[in-house]
Amino acid sequence: MRREFNSRLFSGMAFLTGARIVGSLCIFATTLLITRQFGADMMAKYAVYLAIASVLSVLLPCGFHAIGSMLAAEYVSQDNPAMLRAYIGYGQKLIFGTGLLVAGTAILLFSIWPDSQLHKYGLISAFAVPSAVAMALIYFNSSILIGLQHPFAGQLPDMLLRPLLVILVTVLFAGFVPDIETWTFLLAATCIFWVTASLLWLSLRRHSGSGPVDPASFKKEKKKWWQIAPSWALITLLWDYFIEIQILLASLLFASFEIALLHICFRMRQLAGFGMKALYSLLMPKVFAANAIENDSEAQGLIRLSSRVAFVYALAAWTAVALAGPFLLGLFGEQFRQGHEVLMIIMATLPIRALFGPAPAVLGMKRNQNRVLQILVLALFVSIAVLIATHQSVGLTAVAIGYLAAGVVSTLLMWFSARQKTGINCAAWA
């Protein structure tokens, strides 16, 4: 039985990791094609469009997408399908409501200051805001499907299908509409986000709960949702966009080539981390379900398994990049090979995080999300302090050292906090 479970786990992990890699390669190819075919100006506008939409998509759900997997797993294990459906409906309405609020605010600002510096973002925002709503729905519906232990249905549309559609549309535009206007390309990108969101919505409809919900129970649960969700909005922003923050900080201190090199190194780190993300998406819903019925021994066993498998994977990934790093960097140009040291320092965060396990998720499922937020804020200040103190002496390596220092501090503090607050040792040696 255990062998069969492990076999399914590793095959699922391999498939999801492969899908992420294919999707990432499609996005990379899209970036390359846009820059070469349509010019740097188009690429810059597309990058700003994605940046605005990405940040808004994290804020619009108010954290409800970040706790979706955990609550879905809990409601299923408690045999409470009515509350699951109530949560899904409430979360989706919240996203549309906040989306309308942001759209109205943007229209008001552009109307009040039509000739201001802000106005140059009018066209981009006209597509970024509806795209952000679609992205928020993607993240929310995906988190529910993952919590219901449907990781493929929850991740493949955004992970694989959307990048394939983007590169396909870009190739078609490059081949048949070489003089395409910016608004046409942004409209196509927005439509692709909504196609992806619609597919996830249809998939979720087949798996969501049913039945009437007790008004008193709904009121009680809604209060609980709002107690924990907003903190997770900030946590998600700091956790998922920590790399972007580092690049923005570096852009204040270093030249364009160094920023490009840093961007490449961080993207390689993200690519290497996909295997761990796939593993956690497969195992953590089972941990949440075991925790919901207070089966602590099963939860601890699953956490131990995830930490050990993740650590072995992380060591293998670090070793592979150590050996192949110079070659991979050389693909972008011979001058990029000098960034191998920076790459390896950044990559060192992978085995460190894997060794100490999924402590943020454990703290979250035990309702200690505020501790996670405090630690992430501290880690951000650590990275800034290291960057300021060392950038003149070691150059771009200062960013990598700051990122590693922040990773070590946050990992150790979260592991210690999880053990102190919950009694669960998330580490691989537990």
Question: What amino acid occupies position 371?
Answer: R
CA–CA distance, 187 with 124 (Å, rounded to integer): 10
- Show Cβ contacts of residue 137 under 8 Å, excluding neighbours closer than 6 positions: 92, 95, 197, 200, 201
Provide the b/e sequence for 321-358 (b: ≥16 CB within 10 Å). Answer: beeebeebbeeeeeebbebbebbebbbbbbbbbbbbbb
CA–CA distance, 75 with 84 (Å, rounded to integer): 6
Classify residue 36 by burial, with Cβ atoms within 10 Å: 0-12, 13-18, 19+: exposed
Smallest CA-to-CA distance from 65 within 151, 129, 155, 136 is with 136
Q: Is residue 143 a contact partner of residue 65, using CB atoms and an 8 Å limit? A: yes
Written as one string, the DSSP assignment of 343-378 is HHHHHTHHHHHHHH--HHHHHHHTT-HHHHHHHHHH
CA–CA distance, 425 with 296 (Å, rounded to integer): 12
> Would you say the pTM of this structure is higher than 0.75?
no
Predicted pLDDT of residue 114? 62
Residue with tokens 């990049």: 321
What is the per-residue pLDDT across 94-126, written as a single tens digit (0 to 9) for each?
999 999 999 898 888 777 766 555 555 677 888
In order along its 430 residues, the chain shows pLDDT tens digits of 556 666 666 676 677 777 777 887 888 788 778 767 887 577 667 777 877 788 888 889 998 888 888 888 888 888 888 888 888 899 999 999 999 999 898 888 777 766 555 555 677 888 989 999 999 999 999 999 988 888 777 788 888 899 999 999 999 998 888 788 888 889 999 999 999 999 999 988 877 666 677 788 888 888 888 988 888 888 888 877 787 778 778 877 887 677 777 877 887 887 788 778 777 877 777 887 777 777 778 888 888 888 898 899 999 999 999 999 898 888 767 777 898 999 999 999 999 999 998 888 888 777 787 888 899 999 999 999 999 999 999 999 999 999 999 999 999 999 999 888 888 888 888 7
Predicted pLDDT of residue 367? 75
What is the per-residue pLDDT across 302-343, written as a single tens digit (0 to 9) for each?
888 888 988 999 999 999 999 998 988 887 677 778 989 999
What is the per-residue pLDDT across 26-52, written as a single tens digit (0 to 9) for each?
887 887 787 678 875 776 677 778 777
- Show Cβ contacts of residue 134 under 8 Å, excluding neighbours closer than 6 positions: 190, 193, 194, 196, 197
Smallest CA-to-CA distance from 415 within 370, 349, 352 is with 352
Predicted pLDDT of residue 10? 64
- Give long-range contacts, CB 8 A cutoff, 24+ apart: 32-41: 33/167, 33/170, 33/171, 33/174, 34/170, 37/170, 37/173, 37/174, 37/178, 38/173, 38/174, 38/180, 38/185
- Show Cβ contacts of residue 94 under 8 Å, excluding neighbours closer than 6 positions: 61, 62, 64
Token readout for 8 is 């399914």
What is the per-residue pLDDT across 180-196, written as a single tens digit (0 to 9) for each?
888 888 999 999 999 99
Predicted pLDDT of residue 91? 92
CA–CA distance, 47 with 53 (Å, rounded to integer): 10
Predicted pLDDT of residue 3? 65
- Show Cβ contacts of residue 331 under 8 Å, excluding neighbours closer than 6 positions: none
Predicted pLDDT of residue 246? 82
Written as one string, the DSSP assignment of 260-312 is HHHHHHHHHHHHHTHHHHHHHHHHHHHHHHHHHTT-HHHHHHHHHHHHHHHHH
- Show Cβ contacts of residue 195 under 8 Å, excluding neighbours closer than 6 positions: 162, 165
